[in-house]
Structures are given as structure tokens and as C-alpha cells.
Amino acid sequence: MSAATTVLVTGGAGFIGSHVVEAALARGWRVRVLDSLRADVHGDGTMRVPAQDGLEMVVADLADEDAVAGALEGVDVVCHLAAKVGLGVDFADAADYVTSNVTGTATLLQAMRVAGVRRLVLASSMVVYGEGAYRDAEGPLAVPPRLVADLEAGRFEPVSPRTGEPVEPLLVDESAPSDPRNVYAASKLAQEHLAAAWARGGDGSAASLRFHNVYGPHMPMGTPYAGVASIFRSSLERGEAPRVFEDGGQRRDFVHVRDVADANLAAADWTFEQPVGASRAFNVGSGTVHTIGEMATALADAFGGPAPVVTGDYRLGDVRHVTASSSRAADELGWRARIGFAEGMEEFAHAPQRPPAGRDGSRA
């Protein structure tokens, strides 16, 4: 696309959103940000990316239909990152997740239809899969949620319902069935379904990016809604050892936020190449597997802080293993992560974080 492209980034003042804004500006695009700048998320309400030519800020919530309609004027493509993120604290968060994520997305898509904006990149998440992909001695299989009795006994590995033996984790690809296991995950899958329905209804093309464990500069800190990397970094800042749940053997794909921003732009390019009606999901991961224990150790070593402590604690709803195959993104978007694990953790150990602003959630 040309430098004359105008992109609307919802949630553009947030962690991932602000990096998407920077990447789009660096490409020469005009960028409009729509963000509520909620005090419980953004603290003093300032935008991290400084004011500059080509950047416009609209302070409004997605529930404000008039503001959304105005923000869409002259826009070529939307990167939709505004959302309440994280697993939440308990089911008392359910209504806020649905209002922020599902109703907000529906309002945006309705406004895009009226405005004739036909290109959408949606921030989704690996959590739509639930547990990742596995196989036992008989072949691939889906594993049920782990039992409380097993977790209490320290038996953390999923067990095959066919053989009774631990299963082997595999890379999950986009053909895997969805199995959301918390309210946030259900809301992200609902966003994907809405985007697909919008596209198939003849209103445009949509790419849903299933982010894996995103980390990097300006992550929110000190909140139960933050990612595990931010929680560990916050512990180190306080001089405390990172507390690793279970036995630390949970497998994840940690992907740097600048790579995720690049994936958004690659997906935006893809939407312009597709016919109306196209809808596609893409995993966005680094392509390398590390355990949470390995990540905690790498971060603590880079920070120069105390070594992690493996607690054996657990959270109901957490999955044991989920790691990405990002080959579809490589093949169809031409996108691959560029920042390696060691390099990324070394940077993140000393990078600025977003100060805690409140307990009520965070935006992408």
C-alpha cells in the first residue's frame, strides 16, 4: 500500500496498539488512534507515542457511535486492538469483558459497514484454542480440562483419556478446534466470529491475528491482568524472586511486541489483496518453544535479580501447553518474527514498563 494509506488503530494508546502506531508511522502511513484513555488503564491519560505529523488522536469509547463514525472518515483499514485483556480475576468480570470486547467490536463493525471501510485486522489471541495440540501413542487427540485433584497432587501434565498416560504437546495450527476456557477467551472468539460474519456478509475482508505470549517494552505492570512476563518483571523490580506456578514446565511461545506490530501491518497489506468476503485467522508467534520456567530464569539472569522460585501453585483455567505454528503467517502474509528469545528478554529486562494505573483491566 502507498504512504497515503490511513489506518485507524483502536486501542492505539495501549501496549500493543502503541507499537502498531509507531510501525505504521515509520512506514509513512497516516494514523488515527481511537482510545478511551480510561484512567484505570492509562493513569494520567497521556499517549505514549508523541504528537507528530500524520498522527491524530480521538479520545472516545467504542460505545460512542457518533465518535466511532467520525473516526472512520477517510480510513482505508482498521487495526482493532481495543479490548479488555487478560484472564480477569473471577466471573464478576464477565459483563465488562462482553461489553468491552464483543459489543464494542459489533459497534465498530456496524460503523465500518456504514462508512464503507472494508479492511479489518482484528487482535485475537491464542486463548481461543484452550489447551494446545497433543498426541498420545494412538495419534492426535483433544485433552479435557485438568482435574483439580490432579493439580492439587502436583500432577500437572494432561493425561490421555484413551491411554491414561501423559500426552505429547505439539504445535497448534489454525485448523485446531476452538475451546475457550475463560470469559476473556470466549470474548475473543466471539470477536473473531463477528469479524468473519461481517466479511462474509459482503462488507470487507478480515484477518484475525491470534497473538501468543506478547512481551516487550511498555507492558503494563503490577496488575493481575498483565502477562506473565510483566508479572515476573514487576517482581524483579521489587527485588523479589519471580514466582513460577506449577512446576515451571508450561510450554509457551513468547513473541516480541515489535514483531507483533509488524504482523499487524503485514495483515493489513493482506486485506487489500483479498476479495470482499475473505476471512482468515493467523497465529502470531515466534516459532520457538520455551517453558515459563525458562522464561523466568532468562529474565531474572538478564535483570540481575533473584532466581525464580517454583511454587507448585496453580490457577484453575490455566492451560498446560499451547505453542504456535506460525507457518500460515509466513506463507500467506510473508511475516516471520525477527527478534530472538535471548535478545528480546535481555531488552525487556531493562525496558520501560507502563506504571500500574488500576485494577480494573488493561487495553491491548
Active site residues: 184
Contact 282, 174 (CB under 8 A): yes
State whether the Cα torsion 337-55-53-30 is positive or negative.
positive
Specify which residues 124 forms β-bridges with: 210
Strands (E), the chain: 6-10, 30-35, 55-59, 77-80, 119-125, 133-136, 139-141, 168-172, 205-211, 213-215, 243-244, 251-252, 254-256, 279-284, 290-291, 309-310, 323-324
Q: Are 77 and 204 in contact (CB under 8 A)?
A: no
- SS3 call for 279: strand
Q: Distance between CA 214 and CA 201 in Å, rounded?
A: 32
| Neighbour-count burial of 216, counting CB atoms closer than 10 A to its CB (0-12 exposed, 13-18 middle, 19+ buried) | buried
Give the dihedral sign, CA 196/34/336/4.
positive
User: Which amino acid would we find at residue 217?
Assistant: P
* Cα–Cα nearest to 105, from 6, 190, 230: 190
CA distances from 314 to 153, 224, 304 (A): 11, 14, 26
CB-hemisphere CA count at 13 Å for 88? Answer: 22
**Cβ–Cβ < 8 Å for 62, 68:** yes
Torsion sign, CA atoms 309, 311, 313, 317: positive
Please tell me the distance from the alpha carbon of residue 23 to that of residue 37, in angstroms, as a whole number: 20
